[in-house]
Amino acid sequence: MTDLFSFNHFCRSPWYGLKVDLPAAVDAVARAGFDMLAVDCLSLGQWKGEGGSVRALARRMRDAGLAAGPLAACAMIDGSAGALAQLEAAARDGEALGTAILQVNVTGPDRQARAAAVAAACERTPGLRLALEFMPISGLSTLAETLDIVEAVGPARAGALVDVWHLSHDPDGWSTLETAPPGHIAYVEIDDALPPAGDDVLAEMMDRRTFPGEGVLDVGRFARTLRNRGFSGVVSVEILSRAHLADPLGGFAARALSTARGAWDGGNPA
């Protein structure tokens, strides 16, 4: 499978107080040269609330030559009925868009509860694969636990989403990645980080990322390790940065793709 580069629209979502224009985003991301657009559920919800049609958006993406990337920010899975209902609604939108992957986060008081929550979620989304994003501020915070859950539910139903930022904040992340089965990885996300300004992990994670190769993360090692493991698939680009919110999307997307390709191609197998 050839690596496919996907633009994650979450970086321009209502999370940042933005009003979205998804058809315009489709056009900008396609002109930038991306293979895929990963629409996020926050943006999709706002756009649908203003009368937007998911199927019409899917047609526009196809006409622009964009495949549907993973549907992002679908739910915080915790085993609750509310989270499962939110996930089911996202699954309906994902099917209408034509994606095969729903990106979720996972929380819960312990490993057993988190594994059970994911198993229940898989039962409610037949035909779609869940991408489990581990991150330091959620219950599921390590790649090792994520891979254990994937093994338990089966890699056809779920896989790990490995983001270089989160991996770099996982104490055993690099060593775990070096032995991770590539089939247990749903897709990867590439980005970078500015030097930390303080101890606020949420602010650093959500507001202070930068373009791949322009920060302090070892994105070359990230790409090289994944290639050595035999990974080939979706490479999502997610630049979460308040400093770039006012940048025109076309130029922002073009820079994101150029730097991501450079960082990814620079990580050739050893």
Please, what are the averages of pLDDT over each run of 10 residues along the chain (270 residues)?
Answer: 88 97 98 98 97 97 98 97 97 97 97 98 97 97 98 98 98 98 98 97 97 97 96 97 97 98 74
Q: Are 136 and 166 contacting, i.e. CB atoms less than 8 angstroms apart?
A: yes
In a domain, residue 166? The reply is yes
In a domain, residue 159? The reply is yes
pLDDT value of position 267: 57
pLDDT value of position 74: 98
Q: Are 29 and 37 contacting, i.e. CB atoms less than 8 angstroms apart?
A: yes
Q: Are 194 and 213 contacting, i.e. CB atoms less than 8 angstroms apart?
A: no
In a domain, residue 270? The reply is no
pLDDT value of position 1: 47
The predicted-structure confidence for 177-201, as pLDDT tens digits, reads as follows 999 999 999 999 999 999 999 999 9
As given in the structure block, the two tokens for residue 180 are 């991770």
Q: How many residues would you count in the chain? A: 270
pTM: 0.96
The CA-to-CA distance between both ends of the chain, in Å, stands at 20
pLDDT value of position 32: 98
CATH number of the domain that residue 161 is part of? 3.20.20.150
Burial call 105-143: b when 16+ CB within 10 Å, e when fewer: bbbbeeeeebbebbbbbbeebeebbbbbbbbbebbbbbb
What is the Cα–Cα distance from 180 to 225, expressed in whole angstroms? 10
Domain membership of residue 114 as a residue range:
4-265
In a domain, residue 133? The reply is yes
What is the Cα–Cα distance from 95 to 86, expressed in whole angstroms? 14
What is the Cα–Cα distance from 26 to 83, expressed in whole angstroms? 28
Q: Are 142 and 165 contacting, i.e. CB atoms less than 8 angstroms apart?
A: no
Short-list 198, 205, 209, 125, CA closest to 159: 125
pLDDT value of position 106: 98
Q: How many domains does the chain have?
A: 1
The predicted-structure confidence for 49-63, as pLDDT tens digits, reads as follows 999 999 999 999 999
> CA 193, 198, 199, 201: dihedral to nearest 10 degrees?
-30
